[in-house]
Structure 1
Amino acid sequence: MRLFSDHYVQALDAEERVWVDKVRTLCRDTLGPKAAEVAREDVFAWDNFRLLCQTGVVGTAFPLAYGGTEARMQLRVRLIEELGRVCSASASIITGTDLSTRAIVSGASDAMKRELLPGLCDGRLQAAFALTEPGAGSDVRRLSTTAQLEGETYLVTGRKKFITRANTADWLVVVARQAGTEARGTPALIALLVPTGAEGVHISEPVAKLSWYGVPICEIELSSVQVPTSWRLGAVGDGFELAQDALVRARIGHASMALGRAIGAIEIAATYCNDRSVFGERLGAKQGVQWMLADLATQIEASRALVFNAAAAYDRGAPDAAMMASMAKLHATDLCMRVVTDALQLAGGRGFLKNFPLERFFRDAKLNQIGEGSSEVHKTVIGRDLVRRAREAERHPCLHDGSTELY
Structure 2
Amino acid sequence: MNQTNTVSRLFGEHFLHDLNPQELQMLNKVRGLVVSHIGPNAHKVAQKDEFAWDTFRLLADEGVIGSAFPVEYGGTDARQVLRIRIIEELGRVCSASASLITGADLSCRAIVAGASPGMKDQLLPGLRSGQLQAAFALTEPEAGSDVRGLKTLIRQEGEHFVVNGSKKFITRGTTADWFMVVGRLETDSSRFVAVLVPRDAPGFAISPEVDKMGWYGVPISSLEFENVRVPAANLLGKIGDGFELAQDALLRARMGHAAMALGRAIGAVEIAATYMNDRTLFGKTLGAHQGAQWMLSDMVSQIEAARALLTITAQKYDRGDGDVSIYASMAKQQATDLCMKVVTDALQLTGGRGYMKDFPLERFFRDAKLNQIGEGSSEVHKTVIGRDVVRRSSSAQRNPSLREGSLVDY
TM-score interval, normalised by the smaller of the two chains = over 0.9
Q: Aligned partners of 2:237 and 2:391: how far apart in 1? A: 30
Quote the residue 2:3 is aligned against.
Answer: none
| Alignment correspondent of 1:108 | 115
Q: Is residue 2:403 matched to residue 1:396? A: no
Q: List aligned pairs for 1:29-44, cutoff 5 A.
A: 29-44=36-51
Partner residue, 2:100: 93
8 Å contact from structure 1 (residues 73, 314) kept in 2? yes
Verify: 1:249 aligned to 2:252, yes or no.
yes
Select 2:129's aligned residue among 90, 115, 122: 122
Q: Distance in 1 between matches of 2:327 and 2:282?
A: 46
1:267 aligns to 2:270 (yes or no): yes
Which residue of the partner structure matches residue 169 of structure 1? 176
- Structure 2: distance between partners of 1:11 and 1:347: 36
Rounded to whole Å, the distance in 1 between the matches of 2:307 and 2:82 is 13
Which portions of structure 1, spanning 4 or more consecutive aligned residues, are displaced by more than 3 angstroms?
none
Instruction: Give 1:233's match in structure 2, choosing from 212, 232, 236.
Output: 236
Give the CA deviation at 1:214. 0.3
The aligned length equals: 403
Residue type matched to 1:163 in 2? I
Q: For each residue in 1:261-320, what CA deviation from the matched residue of structure 2 results, as whole angstroms up to 9, or x when unmatched?
A: 000000000000110001111011100000000011000000100111111111101011
SS in structure 2 at match of 1:311: helix
**CA–CA separation in structure 2 for the residues paired with 1:395 and 1:402:** 11
Aligned to 1:21: 28
For residue 82 of structure 1, what is the aligned residue in structure 2? 89
Q: Distance in 2 between matches of 1:37 and 1:141?
A: 39
Aligned: 1:3 with 2:6: no
CA distance in 1, matches of 2:253, 2:138: 13
User: 1:1-400 alignment to 2 at 5 Å?
Assistant: 1-182=8-189, 187-400=190-403
Contact 1:396–1:402 (8 Å) recurs in 2: no
Contact between 1:395 and 1:402, CA under 8 Å: does it hold in 2? Answer: no
Give the 3-state SS of the residue equivalent to 1:32 in structure 2.
Answer: helix
AA of the residue aligned to 2:193: I
What is the match of residue 4 of structure 2? none
Structure-2 separation of matches of 1:201 and 1:402? 61
Identity of matched residues, %: 63
TM-aligned CA deviation for residue 80 of structure 1 = 0.3
Q: What is the alpha-carbon distance in structure 2 between the residues aligned to residue 275 and residue 281 of structure 1? A: 10
Distance 1:153 1:215 in 2: 32
CA separation in 2, counterparts of 1:61 and 1:17? 16
Deviations 1:46-85 (A, max 9, x none): 0000000000000000000001000000000000000000
Q: Which amino acid aligns with 2:246?
A: A
Q: After superposition, give the CA deviation of every residue in 1:4-59 in whole Å (9 maximum; x if it has no partner).
A: 11111001011101111100000011000000000000000000000000000000
Q: TM-score, normalised by structure 2?
A: 0.97
Tell me the distance in 1 between the aligned counterparts of 2:201 and 2:408. 64
Q: Tell me the SS of whatever aligns to 1:188.
A: strand
Structure 2 residue matching 1:163: 3-state secondary structure: strand
SS at match of 2:221: strand
User: Which structure 1 residue ranges, 5 or more long, are not aligned?
Assistant: none
Aligned to 2:5: none
Alpha-carbon distance in structure 2 between the residues aligned to 1:327 and 1:98: 20
Q: Give the deviation of 1:406 after TM superposition.
A: 2.8
Other structure's SS at 2:26 match: helix
CA distance in 2, matches of 1:218, 1:20: 32
Alignment root-mean-square deviation, CA: 0.8
